[in-house]
Amino acid sequence: MNEGIQKEALSLQRSLTEHSYRYHVLDDPIISDAEYDGMLKRLMEIEEEFPELSVPDSPTKRVGAPPLESFEKAVHSVPMLSLDNAFNDQDVLEFHKRILRLTGQEGIYIAEPKLDGVAVELRYENGTLVRAATRGDGVTGEVITQNARTIRSVPLKLKEDKLKAPALLEVRGEVIIRKSDFEKLNQTRLENGESIFANPRNAAAGSLRQLDSKATAKRPLDIFVYGTGLVKGLEFKSHSAMLEILQGFGFPVNPNIGTGLSIAGILSAYKEFEALREGLPYEIDGMVIKVDDIALQRQLGEKIKSPRWAVAYKFSAQEKTTTIKDIVVQVGRTGVLTPVAILEPVNIGGAMVSRATLHNEDEIRRKDIRIGDKALVKRAGDVIPKIVKIFETERKGTEIPFEMPLQCPVCMSRIEKLKLDRSWVNKCVNASCQAQFKERIRHFVSKKAFDMEGLGRKIVDQLVEEGMIRSFVDVFTLEKEKLSGLERQAEKSAANLTEAIEKSKKISLPRFLYALGIQHTGENSAKLISQQFSSLDDIMAASVTDLESIHGIGPETASAVHGFFSNAENQAVIRQLLEAGVEIQNDRPQSPEPLDSPFYQKRVVLTGTLAAMARSEAQAMLEATGAVVTSSVSAKTDFLIAGADAGSKLDKARKAGVRILDETEFLAMVRQS
């Protein structure tokens, strides 16, 4: 082997490591995926020919190694403890009282998200990853080094830009799978006829326990580190200083960490984590409170299973077990039948849950859900509760499998089976089915449409059943007297409702368009169409080609909109609405002439934090120059405006070749228009 080859291999190993770090840890790549792949391919060729150059920390080791027969056991040098749980403020206050009594100090806490993944320990000797192990029972775990090497954000070698690697460093952290990666993973498994994972934690655990690390390499695993085990040749003054040092060595450390917190700060941090939870790209199940100072930690010491200096403040459970009492069929706005599980009511995270959607027949069959089954039910934020899994072992034999009705359960019309977005659905063929009509009215008055507060589910049911609402326009002619006569409708709320109805008559064009409930026309399409045409008349007169020429409007939406407005009955409904006093306000910003603004008719996405203004202000500014601001990046996006800490959208935009503007460039361009 000549020296040139050796040099080339070393240089490729170095730069691939650096680029992988920029991509997976910093979320800030500076070369394209293709360039990276090209370099990796070259390195693989060299290492194949000269195996002695294939060192354990070479980036080529990320793809997996020959399969194992079984996992070796590993005894942890320092036991991996668990944490005591706190479930309410009271529990946390008691934790704090103890700490205060023992240390006499205030403002000493650090708050971290409690990541819902799998704990691992990574051992580095003189900067090189030599062993990875699961937590196991805390004393003994399993050796999963080959698998850990496939996790792209796990450094195979410590970065030594700031500090020299110590002789020994054991780093602990949580291996996770991001929510979006989890969805994709399950989707692929479904398509391949494999069983799906119940949640990202199970998926991460299953992926780490593969005897064949090539299988692990295909799983989208990631890690955040939050602690150390045995360390030789390095000392930390505080937990926060340790995290900073670990970050310097190239480990991903969670960005949402609060330091120097008092007990009041801790309680408000918990509220912030609760609010953050839904929007985070990975699952967290609480907050971990730790005493920051290491000397104080030592003073406080530990119990057998858990330290006295930390506690996990758990979120209230989002999953509970209950019984499926019945499965009923709900008829949607477009006639699609959705089976719904009627549950023995349970309190999940502070809300009573008594129904869960079962999506469609296929889903019921796939999960083999039967009436009478015990089921794990999940509620995530304001999303409709769903069934995670059923407990087959709890079956008594009296459970009844579900059969899709052959007729619409409401109007008894024929049911048609058709394919919608890749899955089969059952649809009631009768467009005047009362159930469909109720849903159309619900949509019409909903928050994003006419926004009639007080016209809830039950009242709509009643009004339709009593014949007081037979078409959209009837909503506007509801009289106070008639309303207060309704069951459960006091006079005061009847007055409030009529007032809300009156107020709702002034409506923007996009909301109006959305309220009509035209197929394939959601909020965003309604906005795009309204931006293009200045009035409802123009939209009604538009041809399919006119509509299709709008950036972001596909052929299905274009023909649905055109079809809707060509229908004489629908035209009559619109006339009636206008006669009843509905006033469509075209609040479309007066778009400047095309040449005036570089953003005119361009699709723009905002991400990250802007220093100069709130995101909503930036959006308003962009819209005023004729831009269409959307929330997700696709190949059709023209610009991505990236503020500080931009994350996955920036990534996606880069891959899609979308033009990226930082805040300064963005402001300069706005000023120019």
Residues 38-67 that bind ligand IVH (CB under 6 A): none
Contacts of 587 (CB under 8 A, 6+ apart): 508, 509
Among 19, 114, 370, 527, binds ligand IVH (CB under 6 A): 114
Question: Based on CB atoms, which residue is closest to ligand IVH, 287 or 343?
Answer: 287
Confirm or reject binding of residue 76 to ligand IVH (CB under 6 A): no
Determine which one of 7, 41, 73, 114 is catalytic.
114
Question: Based on CB atoms, which residue is closest to ligand IVH, 260 or 485?
Answer: 260
Confirm or reject binding of residue 111 to ligand IVH (CB under 6 A): no
Confirm or reject binding of residue 310 to ligand IVH (CB under 6 A): yes
Question: Based on CB atoms, which residue is closest to ligand IVH, 119 or 577?
Answer: 119
| Length of the chain measured in residues | 673
Q: Which of 354, 305, 365 is nearest to 139 (CA)?
A: 305
Tell me the residue type at 427.
K
Select the span of 22-30, 107-115, 199-207, 407-415 touching ligand IVH (CB under 6 A): 107-115
Q: What secondary structure does DSSP assign to 79-148, as a single string?
A: ------EE-SHHHHHHHHHHHHHHH---S-EEEEEEE-SEEEEEEEETTEEEEEEE-TTSSEEEB-HHHH
Tell me the residue type at 333.
R
Binding map of ligand IVH across residues 215-254, x = CB under 6 A, - = no contact: -----------xx---------------------------
Taking CB atoms, the residue at the shortest distance from ligand IVH is: 119
According to DSSP H, which parts of 542-662 are helical? 544-548, 555-566, 568-579, 615-624, 648-656
Q: Report the nearest approach of ligand IVH to the CB of residue 307 (Å).
A: 5
Among 129, 165, 177, 288, binds ligand IVH (CB under 6 A): 288
Spatial separation of the C-alpha atoms in residues 198 and 308, rounded to whole Å: 33
Question: Based on CB atoms, which residue is closest to ligand IVH, 312 or 329?
Answer: 312
Select the span of 22-30, 108-116, 380-388, 492-500 touching ligand IVH (CB under 6 A): 108-116
Among 63, 65, 81, 613, binds ligand IVH (CB under 6 A): 81
Select the span of 206-214, 305-313, 335-343, 473-481 touching ligand IVH (CB under 6 A): 305-313
Confirm or reject binding of residue 405 to ligand IVH (CB under 6 A): no
Confirm or reject binding of residue 567 to ligand IVH (CB under 6 A): no
Spatial separation of the C-alpha atoms in residues 450 and 507, rounded to whole Å: 7
Among 77, 82, 477, 519, binds ligand IVH (CB under 6 A): 82
Residue 373 CB neighbour total at 10 angstroms = 23
Residue 545 CB neighbour total at 10 angstroms = 9
Question: Based on CB atoms, which residue is closest to ligand IVH, 16 or 289?
Answer: 289
DSSP 481: H
Torsion sign (Cα): 574, 578, 581, 585: positive
Task: Using DSSP, state whether 260 is helix, strand or coil.
Answer: strand
Spatial separation of the C-alpha atoms in residues 309 and 294, rounded to whole Å: 10
Q: Are 104 and 151 in contact (CB under 8 A)?
A: no
* Rg of the chain, C-alpha, whole Å: 30
Q: Report the nearest approach of ligand IVH to the CB of residue 349 (Å).
A: 19
Q: Report the nearest approach of ligand IVH to the CB of residue 71 (Å).
A: 18
Q: Which helix (H) or strand (E) holds 628?
A: strand 628-630
Q: Report the nearest approach of ligand IVH to the CB of residue 90 (Å).
A: 20
Confirm or reject binding of residue 201 to ligand IVH (CB under 6 A): no
Measured in Å, how far apart are the chain's first and last C-alpha atoms?
A: 61
Confirm or reject binding of residue 623 to ligand IVH (CB under 6 A): no
Spatial separation of the C-alpha atoms in residues 627 and 621, rounded to whole Å: 9
DSSP 486: S
Contacts of 274 (CB under 8 A, 6+ apart): 315
Confirm or reject binding of residue 277 to ligand IVH (CB under 6 A): no
Count of residues binding ligand IVH (CB under 6 A)? 15
Q: Report the nearest approach of ligand IVH to the CB of residue 118 (Å).
A: 7
Question: Based on CB atoms, which residue is closest to ligand IVH, 44 or 81?
Answer: 81
Select the span of 35-43, 78-86, 87-95, 571-579 touching ligand IVH (CB under 6 A): 78-86
Residue whose tokens read 């500090």? 163
Question: Based on CB atoms, which residue is closest to ligand IVH, 86 or 119?
Answer: 119
Residue 65 CB neighbour total at 10 angstroms = 16
Confirm or reject binding of residue 174 to ligand IVH (CB under 6 A): yes
Among 76, 96, 123, 135, binds ligand IVH (CB under 6 A): 135
Confirm or reject binding of residue 21 to ligand IVH (CB under 6 A): no
Spatial separation of the C-alpha atoms in residues 295 and 261, rounded to whole Å: 17
Select the span of 80-88, 241-249, 356-364, 546-554 touching ligand IVH (CB under 6 A): 80-88
Among 74, 115, 369, 526, binds ligand IVH (CB under 6 A): 115
Whether 386 is catalytic is no
Q: Report the nearest approach of ligand IVH to the CB of residue 227 (Å).
A: 5
Confirm or reject binding of residue 307 to ligand IVH (CB under 6 A): yes
Confirm or reject binding of residue 170 to ligand IVH (CB under 6 A): no
42 HSE (CA, 13 A, CB side) = 16
Spatial separation of the C-alpha atoms in residues 605 and 617, rounded to whole Å: 13
Q: Report the nearest approach of ligand IVH to the CB of residue 284 (Å).
A: 8
Q: Are 623 and 659 in contact (CB under 8 A)?
A: no
Confirm or reject binding of residue 133 to ligand IVH (CB under 6 A): no
59 by Cβ neighbours in 10 Å (0-12 / 13-18 / 19+) ranks as: buried
Confirm or reject binding of residue 119 to ligand IVH (CB under 6 A): yes
Select the span of 54-62, 112-120, 208-216, 367-375 touching ligand IVH (CB under 6 A): 112-120
Task: Give me the active site residues, please.
Answer: 114
Binding positions for ligand IVH, rule: CB under 6 A: 81-83, 112, 114-115, 119, 135, 174, 226-227, 288, 307, 310, 312
